[in-house]
Amino acid sequence: MLSCPDRKGIVAEVSGLLARQGANVTAAAQFSDPALRHFFVRYEVETAAGEASAESLERGLAEGLSDLLSQPDAQLTVRRADHRPRVALLASKASHCLVEVLQRWRTGELPCDIVCVVANHPHIEEFAGWFKVPFHHVPFPPGDKAASFDRVEALLKEYAIDVTVLARFMQIIPDAFAEAHVGRMINIHHSFLPSFIGARPYEQAHARGVKLVGATCHYVTPELDEGPIIDQEVVRISHRDTPADLRRKGRICEREALARGLRLHLEDRVFVHGNRTVVFD
Amino acid sequence: MLSCPDRKGIVAEVSGLLARQGANVTAAAQFSDPALRHFFVRYEVETAAGEASAESLERGLAEGLSDLLSQPDAQLTVRRADHRPRVALLASKASHCLVEVLQRWRTGELPCDIVCVVANHPHIEEFAGWFKVPFHHVPFPPGDKAASFDRVEALLKEYAIDVTVLARFMQIIPDAFAEAHVGRMINIHHSFLPSFIGARPYEQAHARGVKLVGATCHYVTPELDEGPIIDQEVVRISHRDTPADLRRKGRICEREALARGLRLHLEDRVFVHGNRTVVFD
Amino acid sequence: MLSCPDRKGIVAEVSGLLARQGANVTAAAQFSDPALRHFFVRYEVETAAGEASAESLERGLAEGLSDLLSQPDAQLTVRRADHRPRVALLASKASHCLVEVLQRWRTGELPCDIVCVVANHPHIEEFAGWFKVPFHHVPFPPGDKAASFDRVEALLKEYAIDVTVLARFMQIIPDAFAEAHVGRMINIHHSFLPSFIGARPYEQAHARGVKLVGATCHYVTPELDEGPIIDQEVVRISHRDTPADLRRKGRICEREALARGLRLHLEDRVFVHGNRTVVFD
Amino acid sequence: MLSCPDRKGIVAEVSGLLARQGANVTAAAQFSDPALRHFFVRYEVETAAGEASAESLERGLAEGLSDLLSQPDAQLTVRRADHRPRVALLASKASHCLVEVLQRWRTGELPCDIVCVVANHPHIEEFAGWFKVPFHHVPFPPGDKAASFDRVEALLKEYAIDVTVLARFMQIIPDAFAEAHVGRMINIHHSFLPSFIGARPYEQAHARGVKLVGATCHYVTPELDEGPIIDQEVVRISHRDTPADLRRKGRICEREALARGLRLHLEDRVFVHGNRTVVFD
């Protein structure tokens, strides 16, 4: 994955560099943002046995593209296809998003290692147990949430977590915590943002009388509910649906948007640029 | 159509009254709002030739249900199945919503008579001409919109309009004008409300980086973009879509939501209650 | 629920009978099939404490409507709102549909008692165990499936099953077995029927190059893949999707269509008439 | 656009050739079919004023890739971004697909020149007239369709047509006619193929009791309804929908799938390989 200011000939340069190192491109996607004059490219390559490793490939590209990469906002990432990020799931009371991610992981749909589940409700332990994932109960008492966040942060360090998933975590993330995980912490919001920001979105949706509800999978940033959106899902509703029905129907959207967004992230298909994402699906 | 405070036995009462007047129910839909304790019912009935007319049926129901109908918020409407409301279309520069409604009307999908088109851009005359509908050009000069609205109001009176459709009219409706047409003026808003209220919603959507854009068909009320929603439609977008692409894809949503919402209204399938709608589709 | 040949005045009759027995209609849906001249109605009613029970209500309706109900194809069902059918889940190797139904049941979305899981693969026991539902392993050896079906039938009897769910059961149902459970056995087929009937639908879909795949929830009848359809779901795919990707994306459709269809059935919202369903959702 | 058997290093080769001719890649999409071992790539490039023309670029690529292009199934196409194919629309009685394509063309959504409309019903002339496109009435009498097809073929030659659109043309295309236009004739079929092949698909769909109907945009091949699919669209239906309702709702799908598929084709985003398409949208 390469993201950098756009200029002439980048494609030829990069693909030439790859070819010279014996890397054959098997899939490619690229996007030039005409407004931002920024360039995004994602290659899947294969190398013959014994040839370039991910590290040497990255080194080769970094040298060949040193002028590009020295610019602000430029970023190069090279990963092995069998790279498996270490993932932590944070939950609260509701289990539907948590179980969805765990079950898809178990059936092999999510290329990662889910190494721990953290929740402020102890009954979540049962679900973690189904999938034999270590569980940690961290209460979030109203008056002393800072200590709880410290405890979570310590757990994420201890488990050497690459990606943190807020599977309906329901706690407002402190700025410092959000900043420490920029681009690596994924949330599911229970509305089709930017509609119904804030608390109790299904009640808000019912009061407004909308005919669709939805969910949004996005990166966490210090600005609450304002992070870059990875994926969204909606479902049609009617006047017959009570707020409880909206919650039930919305759960389908939440599960689907989160699982899909997480998969895109784990497969290195998502670039963040400013407050928007480039998603090569 | 009957909308009234809920109480026991309404269904038996109403269907009994209909039966006693020789009206056979061929379709029925009903909804009791548990929160508002309000009751909504829509019957389609047929009567033998020579039997009860719509007027006598309405009189019979009004008498039989006089106690219910004397309550605030109670409303009874009886219409012949071949009732065709008189419709005016108001447009600005864009033609896609206007042509959509006219073309569906021509193919017999909209049970109404479209009797005039009003626009503040003269080139709209061509489209009205395709469908042989009288056209009126009413300019809306920046400084003197009140006079323009007076002119439109006069035209609506002159044509004895039942339903006014804002087919991307793009003018902010004065409160008095909105109030004069409550429940009878339908707008298409180019976003999935309540997202992106206000001007240039597709640019707002692009800036926010959402993955879906949409459109909302709603009744016009004095509160801008806040009226009761009849129908909504969304379409998936990607990072490749420029604001111009969003406008293009959004046009499909706008056309579809407006045509569908208008059809529901014309078939007397929409109840308004507070800021929400009950739609018996 | 009442399904009978259509005639004048049924609505008034039925709602009158209900009112006279002190049953207040809180929700109603009705449909007259114009082609088949058949009438379908579903009422939700509430009775004051100590008033009519479900049994006495059914008796009262059966007497009052005796002429209607004596006709072929007429059917009356009265059930308490807290009625919970006893459900058995039959599975094979794949767990996604099974776990979906069990998880929704656990979160209270499915008004039933899931009393046993039967599978021809022993590893399914683990999933049944998560939800503390008794599990039975019934192998289906290629040469002797009749004995296996006898074993399943015995289990369904033993557990006094009302509704049997084939959650990707993958065995061809013998005619006698299907007939014994008409209207009470629900299958999920992994294509949007009638497309790709038969084996390996995702491979068929890939070979044909369709741009959507889907799933179908239907009642089992002796005619394979031809039973009345309750619900269907589709998802967009692209040329990049391999047959394995179609299976993965299809799993979402299968889970959703099955869970939704089962819920509709359990809430007595589905009428079967010939090979079609009337669904009051 | 380049489609050829896959082998190592193609991306580097092609992008190198483009760079050496002063062509800067602004958008790229590529796909390697793992099963067919075939490679598809689409580049959008810009060249400085006075530099390589489309012709010289094509020549340069053809020389540089001569070994690849000499293989069967290999194909190279280079076109100017402002290339506008000449399009003919063939219609029968229904106008909805025809007017949809013409209206989107008029609003600038379709990069082509629509140069004639041909129909076997004379009333279609009115619609062609709206858009000032020449109209030709070619009757298709039951006994003598061969002569009618000869007349259509002559018109397509006379107008030097690049792309022929069957906008609900409703005539079975003779094999020779289909073969003469392979990859250049686009049809809209009124079902989500392969469901309901053959006549009266909406009646078939109603009889089968499906819960979704749809439409399919595909290339015409000698095998009726079997050509490579470009795009599909579906809409949810219910038991209340008569066959006439299915036709009405299906029209939305037909219009949308045809207009979208045609746009993809006109922008050179569709590769045909065997009976499947690769669509770079």
Phi, psi of B222 (to 5 degrees): -55, -30
Q: What is the pLDDT of residue B111?
A: 97
CB–CB of B27 and C30 under 8 A?
yes
Region C261-274: mean pLDDT is: 96
CB atoms within 10 A of CB A112: 20
CB atoms within 10 A of CB C196: 24
Q: How far is B83 from chain D (nearest CA, A)?
A: 20
CB–CB of D15 and A18 under 8 A?
no
- The catalytically annotated residue of D6, D162, D225, D245 is D225
Residue among A8, A19, A29 minimizing CB distance to D9: A19
User: Taking CB atoms and an 8 Å cut-off, how many pairs form between chains C and D?
Assistant: 81
Cβ–Cβ < 8 Å for C112, C105: yes
Instruction: Show which of residues 111-130 on chain C sit within 8 Å of chain A, judged by CB atoms.
Output: 130
Searching chain B, which residue's CA lies closest to the CA of residue D130?
A: B130
Searching chain A, which residue's CA lies closest to the CA of residue B196?
A: A194
Residue among B95, B103, B256 minimizing CB distance to D99: B103
Read off the pLDDT of residues C108-148 as tens digits, 9 standing for 90 and up.
999 999 999 999 999 999 999 999 999 999 999 988 899 99
What is the token pair recorded at C46?
């509430």
Superfamily of domain D86-279: Formyl transferase, N-terminal domain (3.40.50.170)
pLDDT band at A95; cut points 50, 70, 90: very high
Q: How far is C116 from chain B (nearest CA, A)?
A: 36
Residue among C194, C239, C276 minimizing CB distance to D278: C239
pTM of the model: 0.95
Q: What is the pLDDT of residue B35?
A: 83
Cβ–Cβ < 8 Å for A120, A139: yes
Q: What is the pLDDT of residue C240?
A: 93
Residue among B208, B228, B239 minimizing CB distance to A209: B228
Q: Which residues contact D251 (CB under 8 A, 6 or more apart)?
A: D94, D96
Q: What is the pLDDT of residue C10?
A: 86
Residue pLDDT tens, chain D, 281 long: 888 888 888 888 888 898 888 888 888 888 988 888 899 999 998 888 766 788 888 999 999 999 889 988 899 999 998 899 999 999 999 999 999 999 999 999 999 999 999 999 999 999 999 999 999 999 999 888 999 999 999 999 999 999 999 999 999 999 999 999 999 999 999 999 999 998 899 999 999 999 999 999 999 999 878 899 999 999 999 999 999 999 999 999 999 999 999 999 999 999 999 899 999 98
Is C225 among the catalytic positions?
yes
Q: What is the pLDDT of residue B51?
A: 67
Q: What is the pLDDT of residue D196?
A: 92
Q: What is the pLDDT of residue D51?
A: 67
CB–CB of C12 and B18 under 8 A?
yes
Q: What letter represents residue C18's amino acid?
A: L
Kindly report the CA angle at B105 between B100 and B107, in degrees rounded to 5?
100
Residue pLDDT tens, chain B, 281 long: 888 888 888 888 888 898 888 888 888 888 988 888 899 999 998 888 766 788 888 999 999 999 889 988 899 999 998 899 999 999 999 999 999 999 999 999 999 999 999 999 999 999 999 999 999 999 999 888 999 999 999 999 999 999 999 999 999 999 999 999 999 999 999 999 999 998 899 999 999 999 999 999 999 999 878 899 999 999 999 999 999 999 999 999 999 999 999 999 999 999 999 899 999 98
Q: What is the pLDDT of residue D47?
A: 86
User: Measured between alpha carbons, how far is A184 from A25 in angstroms, rounded to an integer?
Assistant: 27
Residue among C18, C29, C30 minimizing CB distance to B12: C18
Question: Complex ipTM above 0.85?
Answer: yes
From the list A259, A203, A253, A209, the residue with the least C-alpha distance to A232 is A253
Exposure string over B83-111, b if 16+ CB within 10 A, otherwise e? eebbbbbbbbebbbbbbbbbbbbbeebbe
Region A218-224: mean pLDDT is: 93
Q: What is the pLDDT of residue B217?
A: 98
Residues of A in contact with D24 (CB under 8 A): 8-9
Read off the pLDDT of residues B225-276 as tens digits, 9 standing for 90 and up.
889 999 999 999 999 999 999 999 999 999 999 999 999 999 999 999 989 9
pLDDT value at A121 more than 90:
yes
Searching chain A, which residue's CA lies closest to the CA of residue B273?
A: A209
CB–CB of D277 and C239 under 8 A?
yes
- SS3 of residue D105 by DSSP: helix
Q: How far is C196 from chain D (nearest CA, A)?
A: 8
Residues of C in contact with D276 (CB under 8 A): 208-209, 239
Q: What is the pLDDT of residue A51?
A: 67
More confident residue, C249 or D46: C249
Instruction: Output the CA torsion C47→C53→C54→C56 (10° steps).
Output: -120
Q: What is the pLDDT of residue B26?
A: 84
From the list C218, B121, B228, the residue with the least C-alpha distance to D210 is C218
Q: What is the pLDDT of residue A122?
A: 98
Cβ–Cβ < 8 Å for C166, C137: no
What is the token pair recorded at C48?
């004051």
Residues of C in contact with D194 (CB under 8 A): 195-196, 208, 210
Cβ–Cβ < 8 Å for B210, B185: no
CB–CB of C239 and D31 under 8 A?
yes
What are the structural domain ranges in chain D? 2-76, 86-279
Class of domain B2-76: alpha beta
pLDDT band at C51; cut points 50, 70, 90: low
Q: What is the pLDDT of residue D258?
A: 98
CB–CB of D109 and B248 under 8 A?
yes
- Expressed in angstroms, the distance from the first to the final Cα of chain A is 14
Q: Count CA within 13 A, CB hemisphere, residue D182.
A: 12
Searching chain C, which residue's CA lies closest to the CA of residue A129?
A: C130
CB–CB of B240 and A31 under 8 A?
yes
Cβ–Cβ < 8 Å for B138, B111: no
User: Measured between alpha carbons, how far is A113 from A159 in angstroms, rounded to an integer?
Assistant: 11
Instruction: Show which of residues 18-77 on chain C sit within 8 Å of chain B, judged by CB atoms.
Output: 18-19, 24-32
Phi, psi of C36 (to 5 degrees): -90, -5
Average pLDDT, chain A: 93
* Chain B contact present for D267, CB below 8 A: no
Q: How far is CA A150 from CA A142, A177, C161, in A?
A: 15, 9, 51
